[in-house]
Structure 1
Amino acid sequence: HGSVEAYRAVKRRLAELLSGSGALVLNAEDPVSAEYATAAPPEASVVRYRRAEPGPGELGLRDGWIVARDVAALRGRPAVGPLMPVAELAIPGQHNISNALAAAAVGVLLGIPAGGLRAAMRAFTGVEHRLEWVGTIDGVRWVNDSQGTQPDAVIAALRSFPRPLVLIAGGRSKGLPMEELAAVAAERADAAVLMGESGPELASLLESAGLRHLTAAGDLAEAVSTADAIARSLLVDDGSVPVTVLLSPAATSFDMFEDYAARGMAFKAAIAELAETRRRGTP
């Protein structure tokens, strides 16, 4: 697209091209997205969603449930009332609650019964390399977010898990501003293990933002080993509070791997090797 403005213009054009019998699903919390409603034909259905009490004709949240408030369907009767508890979603993060609301809005528009929507969304465990839970080993929870190459994606990932948290990041820089990411990482992470070409730059930004526990790694395997040692040092004695190790690189993979998928697979292989080492009883 070349620019954010051009991307938004294309999205708006899609709304303009909508047929009168079509529908538009929009995030009411995003002013840019919500404005696309003005471009749609007046006879088209427009459904908005928000992570708050829904307005008329919207989906939203109430008392821990995803609820519909008189949402008109393209076929069938309007949807009213609770659809599913938010706690039943298997995917972490506030951004994924928004994604679930959008998916529910599409289902409601198509007339899918609440029971079917609930079963489908409860069964969805996410997409590989996007906040993918790899496993938990001795109280350390490993999460593969190798597709997190942009700062906003990494920020969302960091906000999806409680502390204690160890971040693995770095690769080939995309030349994007990282200051907001550094500030969020300093707030949400206890330590960071940095690798790849962008590792030194990230280390400088994170240190300036106030994150003090920073370690460099020569490759992904070393990053996993280092992060494991740090994470185990953060465990409380009874192991009741898990420590999350999050691979969310804020960079492309091309300095070390063919693509983000290869990086994610290498990360999962390293975790599998770590699990096997522990199974054999070696440290």
Structure 2
Amino acid sequence: MKTNLDNVRRKNVLIVGFGKSGIAAAGVMSQLGAFVTVQDSKRESEIDKGLLSIYRRKGVQFCLDRTPEDPGSFDIVILSPGVSPELPFVQEAKEKGAEITGELELAYRIAKGDYVAITGTNGKTTTTTLTGEIFENSGRKTFVGGNIGVAVAAEAAQSEEGDWLVTECSSFQLETTKYFTPKISAILNLSPDHLNRHHTFENYANAKAKIFANQREDSWFVTNYNDETCRKLAKRCRAKIAWFSRTEEVPCGAFVKDGRITMKDSEGNLTDICGTDEIQIPGGHNVENVLAAAALAWFSGIDGKVIADTVRAFKGVEHRLEYCANIDGVRYYNDSKGTNTDASITAVRGIGENIILIAGGDAKGQNFDCLVKEFPGRVKKLLLMGRDAGMIRESCDKLGFRDYQLCKDMSECVRTAASIAAPGDNVVLSPACASWDMYDNFEQRGRHFKELVKELER
């Protein structure tokens, strides 16, 4: 069901946040004839002048470095993903009758194409990127975006009947959805994350579960057979369920059989796709990502040969255990997308040994004991940076890991790593934290790391 956007002309709309999502939402709403105000905590001097000029010519008003004087005057409030619905002025607007929604919901309401929606704690970007490539290679007109790349509202506005929007969805985006109904959805895995925003793991999981909340029996939901929380959530889903597992055969879905990625349909028929040894991206976690992408494509009606050919050619994504360089026998990896402990544990296990790990940033309310427990036999040295480096250090002290050093910033981390690394070592940026204390986003953090590594080669 798509509703409400037929009636936004001359309505007062507040867009909270003027990043990628907010920019797209402001453009769409002004085009639909709404009276748009953008609120952002940044000062005007911190925002591109040309961008402000373009949107002011569209009639958009700006409320910068302050909160709106009269939140109750707005009919609709559209939150960017990083904005908490608990902000006092957002709550005041809600109490006065405003609809509180987000850019993902807005995108769904204006889109003419069908959604493939992917969420989970880890692996979203790799799975979304691979799924998008499979859809494109099948000849379908495909838009890939959401929590990665282009804002989903910008893509939705261009979509036509028969198009597909392959969309990475964060818990922040999903929590403000109401009517969002993908044709096929996936939850890859679930572990505690963003607890500073959601407060409890149950709240976080419930936000993720909104991805399938409106799906019915004629649609598909893909999820992890070996993840206990995913299995519990699946009991609430009305869509048909396709599982994936790399360790056991599933009732319906994608699994590994004799080293081969295998599909099982709802009637039990098996189809061979390709060998796991043909997957170019390293680690068992990436086998799971491939299984999920293959299932999403297969149960959307895409031929197995297209899936196999795309998997064989896929080389991974930037900032996810991305190989950067080999300098004097030392390998450097950018895993800036590792923004929580589970992601960094995956990186540490994937590399395996002789690791000089760079970590730290915005902890998001996490406990780091589980990460530090993975260090023995794998991590030779831990270099810590960022606002919450002390929280990781406390876990190290508690668990008896003494080979750590505090650094003031990324530059010092990379220089220190290069000075202590020996041939055969692996310098890995996998922060286990968000980037917001030091960078605008994890992409900027990863690019800075790669620039510093390039300087070492000179």
Task: Specify the TM-score bucket, using the shorter chain as the normaliser.
Answer: 0.7 to 0.9
Superposed, 1:132-211 pairs within 5 Å as 132-211=322-401
Question: Which has the higher relative contact order, 1 or 2, with Cα contacts under 8 A spaced 6 or more apart?
Answer: 1
Same amino acid, percent of matched pairs:
34
TM-score for the superposition, normalised by structure 2 = 0.53
Distance 2:393 2:347 in 1: 19
Deviation track 1:185-212 (CA, whole Å, cap 9, x = no partner) reads 3453121112233334423422432333
Residue 245 of structure 2 is matched in structure 1 by: 50
Residue 411 of structure 2 is matched in structure 1 by: 221
Residue 279 of structure 1 is matched in structure 2 by: none
One-letter code aligned to 1:158? V
Distance 1:79 1:229 in 2: 56
Residue 255 of structure 2 is matched in structure 1 by: 60
Superposition deviation, residue 66 in structure 1: 1.4
Alpha-carbon contact 2:335-2:428 (below 8 Å) kept? yes
**Change beyond 3 A, Cα 1:255–1:209:** same
Superposition deviation, residue 216 in structure 1: 2.6
Distance 1:16 1:254 in 2: 30
Residue 202 of structure 2 is matched in structure 1 by: 5
Distance 2:207 2:364 in 1: 23
Q: Which aligned segments of 4 or more residues in structure 1 are displaced greater than 4 angstroms? A: 10-14
Residue 14 of structure 2 is matched in structure 1 by: none
Alpha-carbon contact 1:186-1:206 (below 8 Å) kept? no
Aligned equivalent of 1:249, options 423, 431, 443 = 431
Q: Is 1:106 matched up with 2:288?
A: no
Counterpart of 1:154 in 2: which secondary structure? helix
Superposition deviation, residue 12 in structure 1: 4.2
Superposition deviation, residue 107 in structure 1: 1.8
Counterpart of 1:159 in 2: which secondary structure? helix
Residue 265 of structure 2 is matched in structure 1 by: 71
Distance 2:362 2:270 in 1: 48
One-letter code aligned to 1:32? T
Superposition deviation, residue 135 in structure 1: 2.0
Superposition deviation, residue 101 in structure 1: 0.8
Deviation track 1:2-61 (CA, whole Å, cap 9, x = no partner) reads 2432333344454452222211112110122123443333xx432111112313423211
Residue 20 of structure 1 is matched in structure 2 by: 217
Distance 1:14 1:196 in 2: 33
Counterpart of 2:421 in 1: which secondary structure? helix
Distance 2:261 2:220 in 1: 20
**Change beyond 3 A, Cα 1:256–1:26:** closer
Distance 2:292 2:428 in 1: 26
Distance 1:252 1:55 in 2: 34
**Change beyond 3 A, Cα 1:133–1:13:** same
Residue 274 of structure 1 is matched in structure 2 by: 456
Alpha-carbon contact 1:15-1:37 (below 8 Å) kept? no
Distance 1:172 1:20 in 2: 41
**Based on CA coordinates, which of the two structures has the bigger radius of gyration?**
2
Which shifted more, 138-147 or 247-256?
A: 247-256
Alpha-carbon contact 1:186-1:209 (below 8 Å) kept? no
Number of residue equivalences? 261
Counterpart of 1:83 in 2: which secondary structure? strand
Distance 2:326 2:432 in 1: 23
Alpha-carbon contact 1:79-1:108 (below 8 Å) kept? no
TM-score for the superposition, normalised by structure 1 = 0.82
Which shifted more, 151-160 or 8-17?
A: 8-17
**Change beyond 3 A, Cα 1:109–1:166:** same
**Change beyond 3 A, Cα 1:193–1:8:** closer
Alpha-carbon contact 1:15-1:36 (below 8 Å) kept? no
Unaligned runs of at least 5 residues, structure 2: 1-174, 176-197
Distance 1:260 1:6 in 2: 24
Superposition deviation, residue 113 in structure 1: 2.4
Residue 239 of structure 1 is matched in structure 2 by: none
Q: Is 1:262 matched up with 2:452?
A: no
Distance 2:320 2:269 in 1: 31
Counterpart of 2:301 in 1: which secondary structure? coil
**Change beyond 3 A, Cα 1:257–1:8:** closer
Distance 2:297 2:291 in 1: 10
Alpha-carbon contact 1:186-1:210 (below 8 Å) kept? no
Aligned equivalent of 2:309, options 97, 116, 119 = 119
